[in-house]
Structure 1
Amino acid sequence: MKTSIYFLAIVLIPFTLFSQGLLQEKNTFTHQDTLRGSITPEREWWDLTYYHLDISVDPDTKFIKGKNTVKYTVLKPYAVIQIDLQEPLYITKVTQNGKELKASRDGNAYFIGLIDKQILGSNNAIEIHYEGHPKEAIRAPWDGGFSWKKDTNGNHFVATSCQGLGASIWWPNKDHMYDEVDSMDISVTVPKGLMNVSNGRLQSIVQNKSTTTYNWAVKNPINNYGVNVNIGDYVHFSEVYSGENGPLDMDYYVLRDNLEKAKTHFKDAPRMMEAFEHWFGPYPFYEDGFKLVEVPYLGMEHQSSVTYGNHYKMGYLGNDLSESGWGLKFDFIIIHEAGHEWFANNITNKDIADMWIHEGFTSYSENLFVDYFYGKEASADYVIGTRKRIQNDRPLIGTYNINKEGSGDMYYKGANMLHTLRQLVADDEKWRHILRGLNKTFYHQTVTTKQIEDYISEQSGIDLTAFFNQYLRQSHIPNLEYSISNGSLKYRWNHVVADFDMPIQVTFNNKDQWLYPTTEWKTTPISDEKLIVDNDFYVQVSKL
């Protein structure tokens, strides 16, 4: 790392938060933003069912070449299909039923004219050939693309990452979150002596003259940014975890020199699985197994192929992001990125504007891990400790239809919102039932914020409309204003949306009790001069 300022930033802020601080806020949106972020007419008429991504990777020249076979079902007749591929990569040929098709490029979107009639309900396929030097990730995973590195022995160490920027930064696909592919095959050819690890299960290894092809199969729906390629001098070890849905294969791929270190450090992986199956329900991808794969960047939630680069340290690169002490009880990357298997990979936002669903719940999963192993008080200390990282700069929900996420506060403001909500539910088993129910109800689905809001309101029996409007759609948090005078406590909510009436736990008159503030002043008798607001509620408190 070249400067102490950069080092300070990276150790103090989760990697995805760090990206938010570095990227300049974009205030205007372009035609390309719309093509990338909206469900265009050239996307909506077909339902994606299958990919076979088959590529060769040459690390010496940083060049990739291959094809993607795309299968789909026709939802309504149309003659043009949109496929996304970002420069400097380019499509060389597209075919359907042996006929070569014309493809016109509009920035990062290709519009392919189809010759054969697209009959309602029919199942069709196109084959897309492409090649080029893909964008190199300068600061992965905050900046997507290929990471072309070498290990300490001089072997190539290569990986992909593309959240936010989009999977089309390195392979052609339908690059919008709303339509996940039902299943996928991934074939990657690499120079002999190297191994490729991708999503799903390894089906076969084909030895060619000077290269090796690794064939992987994904049986479950997968979001496009969750697809990955990892190439290196890997060694493998594994274990079988006895999970809620039976035996689960847990595989680990690490650099050769790190094998013994990983065998000890990766003990956090089955601990993660135990805690999260308790809170969220069965791991969502038993058919594809679970993997941790070492990479030359910090890590990412690639489905069934979670990538790891935390240097075998506890916490976040050896630091406790909560400053509570509890953050050094686990490896942050193993816990956080694997938590995304439930929130991001099982339940996926339809539009990146709703990315708080991924990051809020997953950041919250960190303190649920602490809760499971160290207790409720410890978990509260952890999540409350993260509040110092919240800026309250913008709403958590971004702008729809232009691939625009909300504030980086989606991580720990999202987590503290959920921690507050747990207090309102006021029944831990009921709260656990809600979290597990989310993963069961929306199993392998793409969702909107409204679906999540409605489900939690229904299951909790609380109208949470104003609550979610406040925490998700406003930049500021509720302010409880109060004064004490002449034996009377006067209180109200300020800086809140209309109809905000969240109850809050407080202590006064030597008694723990609930207050029911609204935006109008209320009064109640008080025999002392002290009001203590429960710190489990993420609010501001102002004594007037």
Structure 2
Amino acid sequence: MKNILCTTILLIASISLAIGQNWDWGGPIDPLQEKFEVKHYRLELELYPATQSIKGKSTVTFSTIEKLDILRLDLIDEYKVTSVQMNGAEVEFSHENDLLDIRVGNSTYDAVDIFYEGKTPIAPNPPWDGGFTWKKDNLGNDWMGFSSQGEGGKVFMPALDHPSSEALEGVDLLITVPKPYYVAGNGRLDQIQQEGEKLTYYWRTDYPINNYGINFTMGIFHEEKINFSSISGDQIPMHVWVLQENKAKAKDILEVLKVSTETQEKYFGAYPWPKDKIAIVETPYLGMEHQTINAYGNNYRFVKMGSVNYDNLLHHELGHEWFGNKVSVGDWADFWIQEGITSFGDWMFYWEHGGEEAYFKKAKSTLKQISHSKPVVSAVNSTEEEAYHPEIYTKGAYVMHSLRWVLGDDVFFPMLKAFSSDPRFTYENQVNTRDFIDFVQSYSRKDLEGFFQLYLYTTDIPEVKISKKGEKGYEVSLLGIDFQLPVEVETEKGIETVTLGKQPLLINSKSLPIVDPRGWLMLKK
């Protein structure tokens, strides 16, 4: 999500919340919504650029293990619900306080059709303060995108709007726009239908998908595409849709996307959605991870990394296809799993293409941004607003960097791939921090409870203490912890790895030793 220069970003976000509508989500799930789960969403919407509004029908297919009297969905009050039907018959409903309560009665049907319309909420500062963004491109064409990670699906569709809820059997998007506009959406394009001066684009995916991962973008685009050769052996369609004014840049950004995907696959495993596509679409806001159709608005600000071009925004949002879309949290308390591990994946681009020096420079620059002001893991049942702060990116990535050091590459990287492919934590199943800790300890056969408890659940960091010990050298210890860590120590003899804890260790050195010179760990020196 919401990438990269976290301190500045969060400052902007906090300002925007004061001036815009704040639809938060998460927290404890509504008791009425615990009684059912969503199987599938089908959205049939028409977009009206002139009035910045939408109109259409949403079909929600659900399952339940007990009889329902009320089917409670979320939908913001800005939309007017004109009708609710089950099996073609009208059913009673109420719509207030952003809740849509449907009186199911004695119905045995497992799907409901909701007809709704209205002006879309405008995003004050997308994607941090989300909603719809309607703009004109430089050629005078309408251009629409929307972002809703901080607000949830209720800003564009009726939904069971809780992070623990995903559409287990996917989503169908039938989006109608004026001719000649194009709509890029999730999954694969089944067909385009024309009726008079209107075009309907039918996108669909059968994979599980979270609410904010559902997305569609309208514009006049130029498309470039290739087939990507995945490490899985699949040939996956790879697309970029850019504004017509940026047509000359399309092949370049397609190559950037290809290199980033190859890099992500090397460290995270095979691309998660091989039956659909790998794609980005140019959006009128910075960016967001929308499953198989990532939003891109970084203005082609590539930097040279070794022999290739790197776009930090593109690479970060692409990384969420693994951590965020495939591996998802059901409680925003564990937000760092999505943002921290994805941010660590950004560092690995530096390692892969810029080398060790670039990687450690990135680590040290990130360390300067970490104030240890809040724990990485928030309280259970956190809302998105409560859990979202810069250190889920920065400190979350640094925890992964330190874990890499503690485990060693031969264990760490296979572990990371194993975690991101474990069916207990992927696709229709979700994950929390305890799952991650237990998995790492089981895989590595190491007791890392102290490490995780310190760095994820507190704002404390170990303090390095160095004391002169006669002519023999220096005693070095780590204060504030009751476990031990492998630490590099540099002396006139070079760098060696020792095990440090609260008990002093004698380091033979004529000069003051440098503890952790490359910056593997978060330490107070």
TM-score, normalised to structure 1's length? 0.88
1:81 maps to amino acid: L
Q: Greater CA deviation, 481-490 or 290-299?
A: 481-490
The aligned counterpart of 2:18 is none
The aligned counterpart of 1:55 is 45
Shift of 1:439: 1.3
Counterpart selection for 2:419 from 426, 431, 438: 438
8 A Cα contact 1:387 1:416, kept in partner: yes
Specify the SS of the correspondent of 2:290. coil
The aligned counterpart of 1:416 is 398
1:438 maps to amino acid: F
Counterpart selection for 1:268 from 256, 262, 266: 256
1:401 maps to amino acid: N
Shift of 1:91: 2.5
8 A Cα contact 2:4 2:313, kept in partner: no
Pairing of 1:165-180 with structure 2 (within 5 A): 165-180=151-166
The aligned counterpart of 2:519 is 536
Counterpart selection for 2:201 from 214, 227, 240: 214
The aligned counterpart of 2:110 is 124
The aligned counterpart of 1:29 is none
Counterpart selection for 2:315 from 330, 335, 339: 335
Specify the SS of the correspondent of 1:147. strand
2:413 maps to amino acid: R
Specify the SS of the correspondent of 1:446. coil
Q: Indicate how the Cα distance of structure 1 residues 241 and 143 shifts in structure 2: closer, same or farther if over 3 A, else same.
A: same
Q: Indicate how the Cα distance of structure 1 residues 179 and 299 shifts in structure 2: closer, same or farther if over 3 A, else same.
A: same
The answer to whether residue 116 in structure 2 is matched with residue 134 in structure 1 is no
The aligned counterpart of 1:5 is none
8 A Cα contact 2:328 2:426, kept in partner: no
Cα root mean square deviation, aligned = 2.5
Shift of 1:526: 2.5
Q: Distance in 2 between matches of 1:437 and 1:312?
A: 33
The aligned counterpart of 1:507 is 490
Counterpart selection for 2:475 from 490, 495, 505: 490
The aligned counterpart of 1:144 is 130
Aligned length: 510
Shift of 1:132: 1.2
Shift of 1:34: 9.6
Pairing of 1:326-365 with structure 2 (within 5 A): 329-365=309-345
Pairing of 1:109-508 with structure 2 (within 5 A): 109-117=99-107, 124-181=110-167, 182-245=169-232, 246-315=234-303, 329-403=309-383, 404-426=386-408, 428-441=409-422, 442-444=425-427, 445-486=429-470, 487-496=472-481, 499-508=482-491
1:301 maps to amino acid: E
Q: Distance in 2 between matches of 1:56 and 1:49?
A: 23
Q: Distance in 2 between matches of 1:15 and 1:207?
A: 43
Shift of 1:16: 5.9
8 A Cα contact 1:195 1:234, kept in partner: yes
Q: Percent identity?
A: 31
**Structure 1 gap segments, 5+ residues each:** 1-9, 26-31
8 A Cα contact 2:282 2:295, kept in partner: yes
Q: Distance in 1 between matches of 2:466 and 2:89?
A: 74
The aligned counterpart of 1:94 is 84
Q: Distance in 2 between matches of 1:39 and 1:217?
A: 28
Q: Distance in 1 between matches of 2:380 and 2:141?
A: 43
8 A Cα contact 1:33 1:402, kept in partner: no
TM-score, normalised to structure 2's length? 0.91
Specify the SS of the correspondent of 1:307. strand
Structure 1 stretches of at least 4 aligned residues deviating more than 4 Å after TM superposition: 32-36, 325-329
Specify the SS of the correspondent of 1:540. coil
Shift of 1:488: 4.9
Specify the SS of the correspondent of 2:227. strand
Q: Distance in 2 between matches of 1:344 and 1:259?
A: 30
Q: Distance in 2 between matches of 1:36 and 1:108?
A: 14
2:340 maps to amino acid: G
Structure 1 residues 409-436: Cα deviation after superposition (integer angstroms, max 9, x where no partner): 111211111111111012x232210111
**Structure 2 gap segments, 5+ residues each:** 16-21
Shift of 1:18: 3.8
2:36 maps to amino acid: W
Shift of 1:36: 4.7
1:224 maps to amino acid: N
8 A Cα contact 1:188 1:214, kept in partner: yes
Specify the SS of the correspondent of 1:493. strand
The aligned counterpart of 1:6 is none
Shift of 1:327: 13
Q: Distance in 2 between matches of 1:463 and 1:436?
A: 20
